[in-house]
Structure 1
Amino acid sequence: MAAKATRIVYWTTTGLIFLFEGVMPALTSNTQIAIEGIRHLGYPDYFRILLTVFKVAGALVLILPFVRQPYKEWAYAGFGFTMIAACVSHWAVDGFGGQAVFPLIVFAILVASYHSYHRLEVQSKL
């Protein structure tokens, strides 16, 4: 894949992750729907706050170009664990449906971002 195409894939997928996992939680975590959603899954309310803080921090780590690789790796891993846990949580409580599938879609976008990030790293060393 050409360097330009890799950059386009990276910034598109990373931008989507930033919107889904950074901006949306920051704007909606205190809404009644979010509070009820966390409660419905059986998690305590402080988990919603903790999850929001880590999601916003991780999204910033991914989107800011000056943040170095080890921190980006941790952010990718954290988002990966979060997406898998969200799928399992929704599946366990509500059965396999849209709420359980959506985190897997976001996980696929995350994997594309991760893969293109590493391709850019290799291309920049050439």
Structure 2
Amino acid sequence: MKNKIIYWVSTLWLALGMLSTGIVQVLKMKEEVDMFARLGYPSYFLTILGVWKILGVIAVLVPRFSLLKEWAYAGFFFAMSGAVFSHLACGDEAKEFFGPTLLLVLTVVSWYFRPADRKTISANLNQ
């Protein structure tokens, strides 16, 4: 029961964070466009990343499709670790990479505590 609570709390916070940042990116809000430019990324990358985040949230939350969930978690991990590295590489202050770091931690916690019915078959065989 404890693992289920940890899973759902971390997953819902992850979904909220990814959905809200995905929407901000798809809408190309000025602050986000400015930040991406400062990090050295083109503005069209906002649309790509935002759409992937929104689709990833759907994949993680809907029942079944365990392989798709693995891909979504991997995408979240790559996107957020890339964001943390980008902020570090640009010499940003800690407050700038707090959000991506939190989402990275939530991704790992949600993935680790996911129920058996949300894992791929090969992962179920190893347990």
Q: TM-score, normalised by structure 2?
A: 0.83
Structure 1: runs of 5 or more not aligned: none
What is the distance in 1 between the residues matched to 2:45 and 2:91? Answer: 19
Q: Is the 8 A contact 1:13 1:113 kept in 2?
A: yes
- CA shift for structure 1 position 96: 5.5
Structure 2: runs of 5 or more not aligned: 118-123
**Counterpart for residue 89 of structure 1:** 86
Which secondary structure state, in structure 2, belongs to the residue aligned with residue 91 of structure 1? helix
Q: 2:116 aligns with which of 75, 98, 121?
A: 121
What is the distance in 2 between the residues matched to 1:43 and 1:35? Answer: 9
**Cα deviation digits, residues 28-77 of structure 1 (max 9, x gap):** 222111111111111001101100000100011111123x1100000000
Q: 2:44 aligns with which of 43, 46, 67?
A: 46
- What count of residue pairs does the alignment treat as equivalent? 118
Q: TM-score, normalised by structure 1?
A: 0.83
Q: Is the 8 A contact 2:21 2:50 kept in 1?
A: no
- Which amino acid in structure 1 is aligned with residue 116 of structure 2? E
- Once superposed, what is the RMSD of the aligned Cα atoms? 2.1
**Cα deviation digits, residues 96-115 of structure 1 (max 9, x gap):** 52223432222111111001
What is the distance in 1 between the residues matched to 2:21 and 2:95? Answer: 18
**Counterpart for residue 37 of structure 1:** 35
